[in-house]
Amino acid sequence: MKPDDSLKRYTLLVAAMASFLTPFMGSSINLAIPSIGKEFNCNAFMLSWVATSYLLASTAFLVPLGRLADITGRKKIFILGITFFGLSSILCGLAWSVKTLILFRILQGIGSAMIFSTAMAMLTSVFPPRERGKVLGINVASVYTGLSLGPVLGGTMNHNLGWQSIFYLTAVVSIFAVTLTITKLKGEWPGAAGEKFDFTGSFLYSVGLATLIYGISSVTSSEWAKYFLVFGLLMLVIFVRYEINAKQPVLNIMLFTGNVTFAFSNLAALINYCATFAVAFLLSLYLQVVLGYNSQAAGLVLLSQPVLMAVLSPFAGTLSDRIQPRVVASCGMALTTLTLLIFCFLTEGTPLWLIIANLALLGTGLALFSSPNTNAVMGSVEKKFFGVASSTIGTMRLTGQAVSMATVTLLLALYLGNTELSRANPALLVKSTKVLFAIFTALCFGGIFASLARGNLNSGEQQPS
């Protein structure tokens, strides 16, 4: 094996492991929430923060840490991030109260931000443009494998070994990934070495985005949410105005105003996550409350989507190396729109095989969209922006997830009121689900045009103005 080939393989391996860890952690711990609540004897509000604190920390620090990685070296930040992630996972397993668990989850979220902001940037630094679609597809497949195994493995571990075992398993994999990175990866890949870090811009961005997403997520549960929402928007407006005049900004606004491919690829990603993230949540309620399946059976039905995504993502990524990413991703968005439209016609008598088949079709559409879209984002910027570009994709993902769930929470509250979901009227739940799928279909349909508007990706490195 040539030295370059060895570096490529080990970089892909550690990036895939890291990309598996964070979604696995998120999807598996959700099944342990009831057990955590029982052990610490806490209410639903505190339990919601076990998940929300991780999401907010990840989102707020993604772009600043991506920029820091561009300046100081991507491997350095990646090692620090996965070490931080592993140690905080151990602390989560040792938590003695729900408040300490939330604190350690914030630390875990910061570690995940370091991972997300560097994993794809490292891959893009090591692999030439002609191979990026393929390896980014494999990396996306690792994400979906984590999402697929999370509910199954996490539920089993929680039932037999306790919720702490999920955190300990994550820590073990993190330690292995750190060891492999230190011993096998040579190089730092600092794309913007010597430039200054923008502390003011980073502060404005982190505070603005964190309060904005908190406001969106809490709009139906807190009377203060609207004030956080307005404050977050105000901070982000100040951030943009500040960054336009900054000599070495944490986020180069020209990437959005002067780079059509970058801007519309990120917009397409945001729309895609807004329209599709809540699908699994809605169908989980539908399968359990309306059709009467238990949580294990519902989880197995829902697996058909992420499994197809994991299997087909490498193929879609390779395809985007040969065909313009715009074409492949837009076809994926169109197929996703079709599946959301089909779900608009759900009834209490919809056959299970149709739901499984449509979920598989949805997984295919998402696979065709995600890898080529990521390839388009990373291929549209020059090397010194790889960390920021990687972070921006993660920010679109997390923001889209928050908006998607906030939309669901708002509509369910309007249709079902304060009724516990387990006691909800099945007919009303079906009606609200159909309305939500109609909203997501319209949103995704608009996303097709955002995907097409990005233009063609030129070969080689892109040089945004």
The pLDDT tens digits of the residues spanning 105-153 come to 889 988 888 887 777 777 777 777 777 677 777 877 787 777 767 767 7
Pick among 1.10.600.10, 3.30.420.240, 1.20.1250.20, 2.160.10.10: CATH of 1-193: 1.20.1250.20
Q: Determine the average pLDDT of the residues in 233-252.
A: 84
pLDDT in tens, 14-35: 888 888 887 787 777 766 766 7
CB 216 within 8 A of CB 87: no
Indicate the helix (H) or strand (E) that contains 309.
helix 304-322
d(CA 427, CA 44): 26
pLDDT in tens, 4-13: 677 778 878 8
Residue type, 68: L
Q: What is the pLDDT of residue 461?
A: 42
Q: What is the pLDDT of residue 153?
A: 76
Q: What are the backbone angles phi and psi of residue 291, rounded to the nearest 5°?
A: -90, -15
pLDDT band at 358 (very low <50, low <70, confident <90, very high): very high
Percentage with pLDDT > 70 across the chain: 88
Q: Determine the average pLDDT of the residues in 38-59.
A: 73
Contacts of 13 (CB under 8 A, 6+ apart): 180
Angle between helices 98-126 and 44-72 (to 10 degrees): 30
d(CA 53, CA 31): 17
Q: Determine the average pLDDT of the residues in 168-180.
A: 86
CB 376 within 8 A of CB 330: no
Q: What is the pLDDT of residue 421?
A: 57
Contacts of 331 (CB under 8 A, 6+ apart): 368
CB 173 within 8 A of CB 21: yes
Number of H helices, E strands in the chain: 18, 0
Q: Please, is 30 exposed, middle or buried when counting C-beta atoms within 10 Å of its C-beta (0-12, 13-18, 19+)?
A: middle
Tokens 């989880």 correspond to what residue? 299
CB 371 within 8 A of CB 238: no
Q: What is the pLDDT of residue 364?
A: 92
Q: What is the pLDDT of residue 255?
A: 76
Q: Is the pLDDT of residue 460 over 50?
A: no
pLDDT band at 365 (very low <50, low <70, confident <90, very high): very high
**Length of the chain in residues, anyone?**
465
Average pLDDT, the chain: 80
Q: Is the pLDDT of residue 177 over 80?
A: yes
DSSP character for 32?
A: G
Pick among 3.40.50.970, 3.40.50.2020, 1.20.120.80, 1.20.1250.20: CATH of 252-465: 1.20.1250.20
User: Alpha-carbon torsion 31, 33, 34, 39, what sign?
Assistant: positive
**Cα dist from 13 to 7, 70, 201, 357, whole Å:** 10, 21, 33, 32
